[in-house]
A and B are shown apart, each in its own frame.
Chain A
Amino acid sequence: MNWRRIAIAAPYLWLLVFFLAPFAIVLKISLADPVFGQPPYTQSVSLDSFAFLFTDKIYVITYLRSVLMAASATFLCLLLGFPMAYGIARSRPATRSLLLMLIILPFWTSFLLRVYAWMGLLNNYGTINTFLLWAGVIDQPIPFMYTDFAVFVGLVYSYLPFMILPLYASLERMDLDLVEAAQDLGASRSRAFWDVTWPLARPGVVAGCLLVFIPAIGEYVIPYLLGGPESLLIGRVLFDEFFVNLDWPLASAVAIILLLLLVIPIVLLQRYQARDQEGVA
């Protein structure tokens, strides 16, 4: 059957050429040495770029900072997203669809402009400081902007919907009678939550956390616009090594290490999504 072969081959080839092959090129260039010229790398093979990444403390620290920042943003998204998803899943059907629409809506507006909105809120003459000064709570503006705090708020704000949607999907599917049964049998509310609700919601928790953590770790726009010179994250380092320092091998090496860090979470996410798809069928 020919058309079946075409339906598989066309997207397959596209992805092989434009998704998989590029990684091979990144790997190859990460093993070259930078030179001054066009293209700015040699054909030789060496591990110098990787060696440099691990000897210069700044890179190791930046990787760790990125992981830590992404992890803490993920945690706060979960802390805020779980009760929200729970509330949405347990509300009346008419309200529920409205609440859900309001979670999805920011998705469709520009990511860049949503980050930009926080610049107006957080800067020294911004809305928050103006309000606090007016209310007499402070008499000097608090420098929120260009700090780790601003980056953190930006991450939580931008990625919160990615946490809520999978959480909602698994909480909505859950049978409420199970919680009631547990309570009828004498379980306390917290016991019923940890023994019944939480295990049933776990696929959503895992999917939501990975959907926030993986893209957040390489985030470029948020640290650039809201962060200061000391809140360096690895996405920004990669971008600058490439465009500012023109060190293609080093930028490629940064990408390879970042990819290695993300292999396990990405495979985990795919496992969960595959199981989820099977569950629907």
Chain B
Amino acid sequence: MKLADFQSLFQQRVLAGSGEADKPLLKKLRPSPRGAAPETLLDVYQTGYRIRLADFVAQDHPGLRAILGDEAFDSLVDDYIDQCPSRDPNARWFTTGLPDFMRENARWRDDVAAVSMALFERAMVDAFDTADETPLTVQALAGFAPDDWARLAFEFDPSLMLLELAAGTIEAYGAAISEEAPANVDKPAAGDHIEYAAVWRVDHESAYRQLEPDEYVALSEARAGHAFGDICQMTAFQQAGEIAPERLAQCLSSWFEDGMIIGVRVREDDQSSNTPSSA
């Protein structure tokens, strides 16, 4: 048998798991000098494959396991391993497709709370190893003249992700990862209610915070590059409630404190940037 044919057969049998169809491959194995059944030895690879991939998912999704329960979680992971074999040499990326798999799969797509948790946990994983940037403190604003404040625009850490989640996702995640976690984490109730979250990285750890609806809109607009003054006006059109400049300043202060902001510039009318040396 040519090497390519052997590898196709071997891989097929690892992916499928042990069964009758192993026979052609089992015939290719030398007998064990210790009396181990060939099925047992092949199963080291077959079982090891599933355990390894399941472990990757479990590591990245403690909240999902907590709200689904072990049995349903294991069933989901089995489905995912069966239908989405890993295609990246780096195991880091195996779990990244799980939320999309759930959204596209008839068995899982209606479980809004579970999909929401999967999305949130993927963001936590992604935030952990995005590119490094240095956050600014609020002192960065001191370099700007008061007349420029309305035109200030902000650059955010590349790890920052803004999420619309099923209400209760954040609380359930907190309970799942708590060192004093109860035996059961309540699954968020199904419904149309949503909550907003920011996920980012600070001091080498993924961080998250629930956002009020007005802060979510403001942060979304700020990240899109809109100036401070523009956001005050634009939000009124997005029915997120009026954000007074004072409220926006309060949000801005917390974004600095949270280490989300990495750049400040004055947004010119012609959209060109002007970064002061102190920023």
**A and B are interacting partners:** no
* B residues whose Cβ falls under 8 Å from a Cβ of A: none
